[in-house]
Amino acid sequence: DIQMTQSPSSLSASVGDRVTITCRASQGISNSLAWYQQKPGKAPKLLLYAASRLESGVPSRFSGSGSGTDYTLTISSLQPEDFATYYCQQYYSTPPRYTFGQGTKLEIK
């Protein structure tokens, strides 16, 4: 199975900061990567897919990049509502063995 390693596992930042979260796959995944935001007690919310495509309705301060095995999620200017846990997920595996990163908890400094 493809393993997904996210870093950091937790992060403290302030409103207005630029934040980057990294996800590394154990093998190349050809941009088959999604990013999700999850708030306590809520379902995950899709932010980006295909590594860099912004889901409809998601603010443009969220962006994604990367290729091969290494991918990043960037929030350009943190807003109060962005404090949450973020997960990456690869969907490259055939047959499907979709795997998630362990999550990055973004907290207020």
Report the interface residues with other proteins, using CB under 8 A: 30-34, 36, 38, 42-46, 49-51, 53, 55, 87, 89, 91-92, 95-103
CB 106, min distance to other proteins, A: 15
Nearer to other proteins, 17 or 102 (CB): 102
Distance (Å, whole) CA 22 – CA 29: 15
Cα gap 7→20, rounded to integer Å: 9
Distance CA 101, CA 5 (A): 5
Nearest by Cα to 109 from 4, 10, 14, 5: 14
Nearer to other proteins, 80 or 96 (CB): 96
Dihedral sign for Cα atoms in the order 63, 66, 69, 72: negative
**Shorter beta-carbon distance to other proteins: residue 14 or 94:** 94
We find the least distance from the C-beta atom of residue 87 to other proteins, in angstroms, to be 6
Q: Smallest distance, Å, CB 74 to other proteins?
A: 19
